[in-house]
Chains A and B, each alone.
Chain A
Amino acid sequence: MENILNQIGIENYIFLSVLLFCIGVFGVLYRRNAIIVFMSIEIMLNAVNLLFVAFSTYWQDAKGEVFVFFSMAVAAAEVAVGLAILVAVFRNIGSVDISNLKNLKG
């Protein structure tokens, strides 16, 4: 079977994931709604997962694919904790807008 990676080229995969990663980064930096910020963080992590799978095929080596499982499990745990904190915030101030979090300054 013709390896599809050879036809497309590894560079294009890198460009695609860098693009997705940057979308995630700008989402975190510019959006004020906490749920959308969480989604942007997930985009960042999934952009990396895509690149892991591409590199794994590039090296003909399963380690990268296994790492994707680790990072997916970690991302799930992380977002669970994040949503729990968000629920606590929502109960106290009644909003998920992170620009309302301004009590700590100095």
Chain B
Amino acid sequence: MNTLIAISGLGVFCLIAEIFNFRKAIVPVVILGLLAILGTTLNIWSFGELLNSQYTNMIVADKFSNAFSSLFIVLTIFLVAMSHDVYKDHETKISDFIAIKIFLLAGAVAMVSFSNLSMYFLGIETLSIALYILAGSSRLDIKSNEAGMKYFLMGSFASGFILFGICLIYGAMGSFDVTEISEMSRSAELPIWFPIGISLLTVGMLFKIAAVPFHFWAPDVYEGAPSIVTATMSTLAKVVAFATLYKLLATMNADISSAYQNIIIIVSIASMTVGNIMALRQNNVKRMLAFSGISHAGFMMMTLLSLSNSSGNLLYYTVAYALAGIASFAVIINVTRNKDNEDILNFNGLGKTNPIMAAVLSASLLSMAGIPIFSGFFAKFMLFTQTIQAGFLIVVIAGVINSIISVGYYFKLILAMYTKEPSEEKQSTPFVYYAVGIVSIVLNIIIGLYPSLVTDLIK
């Protein structure tokens, strides 16, 4: 509860700072504020709970929600730090953009710490509406308009399904409280509406995480949106939506039926395969990372097969994926700053003109592909081990094959950077991109060497 109130206060501060002309102070103050909130969320300095955490049973601040909220705050710090340079030419708008990002974070925190379905619905809508605005935020650019429109149509379509699902669950249980719902879902007699409601909720959430039958919007939206927004969507929004889906199923649906598990297996294998195979033939880097995100959603779906004890693995996988994603987008934003597209040709010879940036991008791609010493490998390793123990060998086989396929397109970019000749002069790089890229890659390697740093947060 403290986290949510503090984040909303920070968002309001951004809007007020614009009125009083404190524009220059916004980025540093927001970053410091987010660091302070991160400390409170992780309980580094024990404030104790200022407010009752069970505030009328709307929000619960347990270890799951605190750990994920901390991850979201870290990602937002990186994104806000990069916004300073990205919006350099639109100085009057910077407070709006940063305020929207902070409110997006507030929605994200509400989504993982809900204990009442109405809070969950408000959280997901806060997050989605903020993202619709951001996706269409470059309003003179027709691609950004198209991305915003497509994302809006698909997102509100999915919200309709989620709302219908919540409604049927309410009809079956007579309550919005997830603890009450989970107690009642153990009883033998359930109206048929309850499983239908859970299915509709799952369909809506699969839209949001872009898993395979519902992934058509993702590549278009990722390509059209401004790069910094694509970074937000592919790291923050995906991780938030997945953590929420996990929490929904883990807290409400006490015993997952085997039919439901089969559907998860099929969706997971289909997401991994379709995402990877489509990524192989992309030339636009943002589009390629969109398909790579779809395949990672398939990997994360594996955690839903052993719901009771895989929250640590999910956290570890999402941290590894999101840090690698932020690092790669720091490089992509820097390289394509003054270009009108994000083709792979722009990366030719980056290894010669800017070796540090090329190293950061290679490291993040290797982490996503799952090469050892980067945390992406250990994340996949832990995930596969647990899925085998739960007895779903076939998903793991598909996962291993897909990891091998994915090396193909990640190496296409790495080879372009190191073997092709540079097509242009070296361009200067603002310090903040180095900082974000290097810090997130170093964090990625550290949690790869000491996985317990992350998994202990949740145990």
Cβ of B287 and Cβ of A85 under 8 Å apart?
no
- Minimum CB–CB distance for B197 against chain A, Å: 11
When A and B form their complex, what is the total count of cross-chain residue pairs whose Cβ atoms lie within 8 Å? 123
Q: Are A104 and B145 in contact (CB under 8 A)?
A: no
Contact B152 A81 (CB under 8 A): yes
The chain A residue sitting closest to B175, CB to CB, is: A63
Whole-angstrom CA separation of A74 from B128 in the bound complex:
11
On chain B, the residues within 8 Å of A25 by CB distance are: 157, 160
Cβ contact of A104, chosen from B147, B159, B167, B193, cutoff 8 A: B147
A82 at the interface (CB under 8 A from B): yes
Q: Are A85 and B129 in contact (CB under 8 A)?
A: no
Contact A103–B125 (Cβ < 8 Å) = no
Taking CB atoms, residues of chain B closer than 8 Å to A85 are 132, 136, 145, 148-149, 152
Contact (A67, B170) CB under 8 Å given A74-B125, A104-B223: yes
**B282: interface (CB < 8 Å):** yes
Q: For residues 164 through 201 of chain B, which have their beta carbon under 8 Å from a beta carbon of chain A? A: 164, 166-168, 170-171, 174-176, 193
What per-residue 1/0 map shows which CB atoms of B209-221 lie under 8 Å from chain A?
A: 0000000000110
Which residues in chain A, 47-69, are within 8 Å of chain B measured between CB atoms? 47-48, 51-52, 55, 58-59, 61, 63-64, 66-67
Q: Interface on chain A toward B: helix, strand, loop, or mixed SS? A: helix
Q: Which residue of A has the minimal Cβ distance to B124?
A: A74
B149 & A78 in contact (Cβ 8 Å cutoff): no
Sample of 13 more A-B contacts, CB < 8 Å, known A81-B129, A98-B149, A106-B283 = A14-B193, A51-B167, A55-B174, A58-B171, A67-B121, A70-B118, A71-B163, A74-B125, A77-B125, A78-B152, A82-B152, A101-B146, A104-B220
Interface: B394 (CB within 8 A): no
Give B residues with C-beta under 8 Å from A. 118, 121-122, 125, 128-129, 132-133, 136, 139-140, 142-143, 145-150, 152-153, 156-157, 159-160, 163-164, 166-168, 170-171, 174-176, 193, 219-220, 223-224, 282-284, 287
Closest Cβ–Cβ distance, residue B148 to chain A (whole Å): 4
> What are 14 of the A-B contact pairs (CB < 8 Å)?
A25-B160, A41-B156, A48-B163, A52-B170, A55-B170, A61-B174, A63-B175, A70-B122, A82-B132, A92-B140, A92-B142, A92-B145, A104-B146, A104-B219
Q: Are B164 and A21 in contact (CB under 8 A)?
A: yes
Q: Indicate whether A28 reaches chain B with its CB closer than 8 angstroms.
A: yes
- The prevalent SS among residues of B at the interface is helix
Q: Which of B128, B136, B160 meets A44, CB within 8 Å? A: B160
How many Å lie between the Cα of A25 and that of B147 in the bound state?
Answer: 21
Once the chains are docked, how many angstroms separate the CA of A41 from the CA of B161?
10
The 6 closest A-B pairs by CB, nearest first: A44-B160, A59-B174, A104-B220, A55-B171, A88-B139, A101-B146
Q: Interface size of A by Cβ–Cβ distance < 8 Å? A: 43
- A78 touching B146 by the CB < 8 A rule? no
Q: Are B121 and A74 in contact (CB under 8 A)?
A: yes
Smallest CB separation, B203 vs chain A (Å): 11
Task: Report A's interface with B, CB cutoff 8 A.
Answer: 10, 14, 21, 24-25, 28, 34, 37, 41, 44-45, 47-48, 51-52, 55, 58-59, 61, 63-64, 66-67, 70-71, 74, 77-78, 81-82, 84-86, 88-89, 92-93, 98, 101, 103-106
Min CB gap A103→B, angstroms: 6
Residues B167 and A52 in contact, CB atoms below 8 Å apart:
yes
Which residues of chain B are within 8 angstroms of A28 by Cβ–Cβ distance?
Answer: 153, 157
Contact partners of A86 in chain B: CB under 8 A: 149
Q: Is the CB of B153 within 8 A of A37?
A: yes
Q: Cβ of B159: which chain A residues have Cβ within 8 Å of it?
A: 45, 74, 78
B152 and A67 contact, CB distance less than 8 A: no
A84 to B152, CA, bound (A): 11
B319 to chain A: closest CB distance in Å? 30
Taking the nearest CB of chain A, how far is it from the CB of B244, in angstroms? 16
